[in-house]
Structure formats: structure tokens, C-alpha cells
Amino acid sequence: MSNKKSSQKQKPTGGVQDPDAVIAQLIALMEECQTAESLNDRVITPFSVALEKVCLARGYLLNIYGEGSNVVISSEEDAETIYHLVNEYLDQSG
């Protein structure tokens, strides 16, 4: 009986991964999503939940400012207000 265990891919066990590898995995998963709803359900929401859990556990108030987007972690009560503020800003600047 041959041992095929070595040829099977093993899932990471929580160790540190190369950031480029993580980005490549996310892009591959995103490319599999054919609709905005599946992208939201399979990638965006789980990623957001992971960020929220880490932030909550560490007491962070998280704002990420990127070259192409911004991410703000807020309470559920503030989410709609922030949405409207961003839309108003984009309407004025566009």
C-alpha cells in the first residue's frame, strides 16, 4: 500500500503565510464568483467578519486607507450613516 498522504494538499494550520500567496488565493476565490452576491457571500463578508473579530479582540478602531478604496469598521448603528456620508462625498467630488 503506497502512502499518498504526501501528495495531498494540506490546509494551513494558522501559521504565517506569505502575503503575496494570500493575495493570490483571495483573487482566485474572487474570480470564481460570477455574481456580486456570491462575491459578497463567499469573500467580502467572511473577510470583513475576520477583520471585525480581530479588531474587537484587540480593541482596535480600524480605518484602512488604500490607493483605490477605504475600509471603515463601525458599529451596526453607524453603518448607514457612514454609507450616506461616503455617498454624499462621492457625489460632490465626482
What is the 3 state secondary structure string of 52-93?
HHHHHHHCCCCEEECCCCEEECCCHHHHHHHHHHHHHHHHHH
Say what the pLDDT of residue 80 is: 85
pTM: 0.53
* Digitized pLDDT (tens) for each residue of the chain, 94 residues in all: 444 444 444 455 567 789 999 999 999 999 999 998 999 899 988 988 888 888 889 887 666 766 777 777 777 788 888 888 888 887 887 6
What is the structure's pLDDT at 25? 93
